Amino acid sequence: MLGLLTTILLSACGETTLTPTPSPATPAEVTGASSTKIKVVSTISVVADFVKNIGGNRVELYDIIQPGVDAHSYEPTSDDSKYLATAQIIFANGLNLEAWLDKTIKNSGTKGQLVLVSEGIKLLSKADDSDFKDGDPHIWHSTVNAKKMVDSIAAGLGKVDPAGKEAYLANAKAYNIQIDEAYQKAKAQIESIPPERRKLVTNHEAFTYFADQFGLEIVGSVIPSFDSTAEPSAAELSELVKKIKAEKVPAIFTENTINPKLAEQIGKEAGVKIFSNLYGDGLGEQGSAGDTYLKMIVANATNIANGLK
């Protein structure tokens, strides 16, 4: 088995991650921007979706990492620096998800306020992921965390735009109710899975918060890291196959921004089916089942339920 998995690793790991060329929407395309709007930059698509719902037509938004693009392997562009330079406020996830952020902000010369929406959130971690000492950066996969992120965005916008403070707070309150409704829909999906089959294997370790909130056991990941660009060893892959068989895991779930080839090979070796695609590092592209946060949470739960029943 080890020899086979070594071959798999050599053939697939070199193209583990798909990184489509981003074509960021301009602020005008996002919000019908005018010179009176608050200039906002977000770093990832989930945060951008929150900003749109909270800021409404008071903000001019530029989102750096577009839906369908892997956050871990993203390389900033000259456009990113240009919009950062004129931003009044920048919303970032933090926790080393955007490893390029500090340098890019410094080089842009921006005077904009930086808000890390992960501040104040209880983090989940693993002892052996040295690149993420603070914990798993994929915090939005818990709806409890998502609501805190929304509140951070509303507070940040209110500081740079005091005239809109009450509107931002009202929008956040209304949107958080929608997040609660999405949670209930997702919960119903997960509860339809027989308890003994609530075992999760994904492309990489992006779903610790989701599993913690919804009562799933994470058996392992094809890439045993919070970073989707990490390369598993043949020994790690062999061990994962053994665990999948021993735990009788029904399926492996691929993710929308990661090449599924290695997961598919592991699925064949372990004799389990593959379900695609979970939305791990960001939202899905326009028109997909996960093109907003509210849809993404329900879509992930539905896909997991369909794979584990």
Please say if the pLDDT value at position 280 is more than 70. Answer: yes
Per-residue pLDDT at 265: 96
What per-residue string of b and e applies to 104-141 under the rule 16 or more CB within 10 Å gives b? Answer: bbeebebebebbbbbeebeebeeeebeebeebbbbbbb
For the stretch 215-221, contacts whose Cβ atoms lie closer than 8 Å and that sit 24 or more positions apart, written own/partner, are 215/190, 216/190, 216/304, 219/243, 219/244, 219/247, 219/249, 220/244
Per-residue pLDDT at 177: 98
Q: Indicate the domain borders of the chain.
A: 9-17+193-308, 27-185
What per-residue string of b and e applies to 19-46 under the rule 16 or more CB within 10 Å gives b? Answer: eeebebeebeebbebeeebbbbbbbbbb
Average pLDDT estimate for 251-277: 94
Give the pLDDT confidence of 12-67 residue by residue, as tens digits.
443 333 333 333 333 333 333 344 899 999 999 999 999 999 999 999 999 999 99
CATH of domain 27-185: 3.40.50.1980
Of 255, 252, 293, residue with least CA distance to 277 = 255
Per-residue pLDDT at 128: 62
What's domain 9-17+193-308's superfamily in CATH? Answer: Nitrogenase molybdenum iron protein domain (3.40.50.1980)
Average pLDDT estimate for 134-144: 94
Q: Which residue has the tokens 């899905």?
A: 284
- Summary mean pLDDT of the chain: 89
